[in-house]
Structure 1
Amino acid sequence: MASITLNQLVKTYPDGFTAIKGVDLDIADGEFVILVGPSGCGKSTLLRMIVGLEDITDGELRIGDEVVNDKAPRDRDLAMVFQNYALYPHLTVYENIAFPLRLNKGQFSDEEIEQKVRRASALLELDEHLERKPANLSGGQRQRVAMGRAIVREAKAFLFDEPLSNLDAKLRGQMRTEIARLQRNLATTTVYVTHDQTEAMTLGDRVAVLRRGELQQVASPRGLYDQPLNLFVAGFIGSPPMNFLPGIVEGDVLRLPVVDVPMDDRLRTAVGDREIVIVGIRPDAFEDVDTLEGDRVRSGVTFEVDVDVTEWLGEVLYAYIPFETHEAVKDQLEELDRELDGEGMRSQLIIALDAASAVRPGEPAELWFDPASMHVFDPESGDNLTRSEERASTLEDEARDARQRALERARRRAERESAPA
């Protein structure tokens, strides 16, 4: 295992296009870091720079204590798992996994190769498939073979480039669990590229959000969700995405398209002397008033709206409420929607309610939310004006402690397994 350090990495192509713009990122030994962002943000380019498949225009890349800018991919001792599996169709599963070991002729005996392949296949539950060819495997099994080939190398780090994007939804869920379990067991430094929200939020110790080749924020999944640094991160992290509404300041009231919110000290400090702001509210911040107790209703803000469409998914009910946005922020919100690969549809509030809610389409509904859950953004810079540095620091400390405990458990497990019977 090894740490990976990116110091002001830049990638500029011969035509002058700069895909990566001075990225700084420290990945600790044994850490699982996700690179995420919309299409074209540079996340795959950055991964390819780390592994050596893309030249570095400027900056410094370290693996452990060694600068590797000019090292060939084979000399960086990194194992990469690709989106398309990259398996050899004429070889069995066993030989596909053993392939990187056989490349180093004479370095490993047949007994050592057997031991490494069997260990990897046991970890990935591939023992019964070792004599099969890739064409006879499912997509998930092929991806596990590709992972097995990475494991046997015992490389300094694993690099994953959207490995699950070719799988259907059910298989993606199973493979997410498999990758998380594998990384915990092996405690190997891992860098994982995805555009999938669920993968980003469930797999990584930390998530690095990229926008047009620039690093926007690096934090734990909970830190990104709870304390986003700016409008872009807030809009990208979360599914369904955060609702953005114009907020017009009138005295001590913040007027939203659906409700007027009295401003407490927190909101007044955030708004300052601005006349208009962008307000962000997560879909899960809302509740159906009919499902709440009286004391809780009084602690927040209630409002009545006409529900346009609902979606009942068994465990949750989504309600959609159209609204008209303000001309002063319309252009910025439309640009943000384009950057986040949106479809430029009508402005609408998305609300996630308990599945037992009686809210129905075409009918009025009385809803509730706590103003403390609101985020306020500067309409020009996009900065999160309500972000709490203290809360953000606490969340990162908690995530770091949890990861250290997981690594310690993995270390003790490895010691038990390697101890003589």
Structure 2
Amino acid sequence: MTARRWMAGLAALALVAPSVAPPVAFAQAAPTRPGQAPALPSVEELADRYVAQGRAPGIAIAIGGAGDTRFVSRGRLSEGGGPVTPDSLWRVYSMTKPITAMAAMMLVEDGKLRLDQPVAEILPAFAKMRVLTDPEHSLASRPAARPITIRHLLTHTAGLGYSVVTKGPLLHEYERLGILPGAINPKVEAEMARVRPQSLAAFADRVATLPLIADPGSTWSYSISLDVLARVIEVAGGMPFERFLQTRMFGPLGMRSTFWQVSSDQAGRLATNYVFLGDRAVPFDPAATSIFLKAPSFPYGGAGLVMSARDYDRFLHMLQNRGSLDGTRVIKAETAALAMSNLLPTGVAFTGVDGSTGGTNAPKMGFGAGGSVYLEDTPGGLGKGTYGWGGAAGTLAFVDPARQLRGTAMVNYFPADRWPLRADLTRALSADLAR
């Protein structure tokens, strides 16, 4: 299988569209006892149904209210594997992007970055970018109308491409130069690693040699911008990207099940990733031999993390609380609010991601730091300000700070939209909150 074919599986899910209610507090995150009414009966029924119908061997869901979290875990990590728990490990792929984006916002808060600062002030190789003039047929280009800024990287408006969506000659250049920031399975990785740069610095330098698909700040196009931003973070932050995240976010928030590489002693918690061939799910990256048991070429800021439902819930809980969790503040409230607001350049719109990538469209939707943002309440109850994103292997996450509600769902299969998990969770959660 070619890298191009399976890199197409890395396109991310768009924001979950939950129907929500005013702030609520859920029951404690303990298994439902016999005779005890579950706190989220419709969500639990959904999880039971996904496992019983063979849609996924296992599923983990975390729903948070005003202060606590209810976990729903069903099934197994693989056929014949161990049981799913809130601490099972899942490939979150593009759900890495909001985490990278929030790290950049920390540096904005520190005064080490500015939203409208040219990236070339941090990475000089990006000083003279060019834009394709005939993208379908050639690499002919002209000078870019304006420089790429930090805002552009945060919002996918930098004009960069992505091997999962870009076509034509530029895609061939991305593949030739190894601009492939993601891991699929050992077989595909053997091909991709031969050409991929071995550090974030080399990756960013190669990206800077390639033309853009559009002028920076002119259009929204899903891209490798969060991977480039990871290099910006390590230069501006004065330490390796992964150390910055561990020091400033993962450690302070108690996110102890978040990894770029799953160690051998934690491998028993990792789910198998599947691919659907028709109605049949086939192991595509078995947990026992997973590519995520090996170190990546470099930490992929757009698609590299393996996490538990508990840890992603802690990240969302911090955002819901406007920057703090359990008495520890990692960013200021105003910084968190800014990050989850519409940061798109003037005149640029975001209307969703194509359904084949697991995306969805909704009215009045903008884009914040690494994730989409709803700009108004919808008739179904969707809260204005709801922020979130998803991953290529079916994972999804959202947070509505105004209404104090958050949700994470973990499964691992390609393609992400094989089953309507987003819509199913929306209906189930809406039914439970209506009670």
TM range (shorter): under 0.3
Q: Which protein has the larger Cα radius of gyration, Structure 1 or Structure 2?
A: 1
Report the TM-score, using the length of structure 2 for normalisation: 0.23
Which protein has the bigger strand share?
A: 1
